[in-house]
Structure 1
Amino acid sequence: MELIHVNVNVADAEETIAFYEQFGFEETWEFETADGDTRNRYIADDNGVELQLSDTDGETDFEPGSAWDHLAIGVDDVDRVFAEIDHYGVDEEPTDHPEAGARVAFVRDPDGRRVELVESLE
């Protein structure tokens, strides 16, 4: 068994793609539903982990950030990435979590979802 992708609704796919490109994700493919209601765009990291972004053309009636807690992205230097990326809010500034063996920070993506930046302390 393997994780194929995670699907999230986004108000503006272009803005969301630009946010995740800061972490090395690249757009890989897209399709539109047969009824033409939803355009789905996919982005993937170097390991093939994929996010499916369902563009809602500005629709925000879904509760942004509430369907799941966060997406964790491994980085080499949490402090550097935290300082350099464009984000849409800070939930937790870089902090060591020795019990987890990691230094982490939590920021928000364009639709309000929590994104955890994780750096191994080992």
Structure 2
Amino acid sequence: MSSDEMNRPPAPVVAAVVIYALFAAVLLISAVVIAIAGAPALALLGLVALLPGSVALGLWQGNRGARVGAIMFGIPSVVVPIVMLFLLAAPESSRAWFTHDELDDFDFVDEDGDDEDDERVAGRE
């Protein structure tokens, strides 16, 4: 897997991010419309858009808490948690995005070839 592929989330995660980002955008736009219509107190409901927006950002970054939040956030409905389970928990690529086991595949280079761990201290060579 190339380094570019490791930095991009897999397609199911991107689909979940798009769903939550669109939901946040709809909430934010509706709050702006309410504020323009003359009810500024109800416009504070636009702060609710921070929740799906932060879930979308967390999913994009590979945050495990955002994955749980994405599944739990849709509990009042029946369809959203099922869709999020199919997008975030079922595919192997999605599970791998949230586990971050890249360090197991990383090979450390022994600079001097003596098969010992070398630590560099500032000012010493």
For the aligned pair, the TM-score class normalised by the smaller chain equals: under 0.3
Q: Which has the larger radius of gyration?
A: 2
TM-score, L = length of structure 1 = 0.28
Larger strand proportion of the pair: 1
TM-score, L = length of structure 2 = 0.27
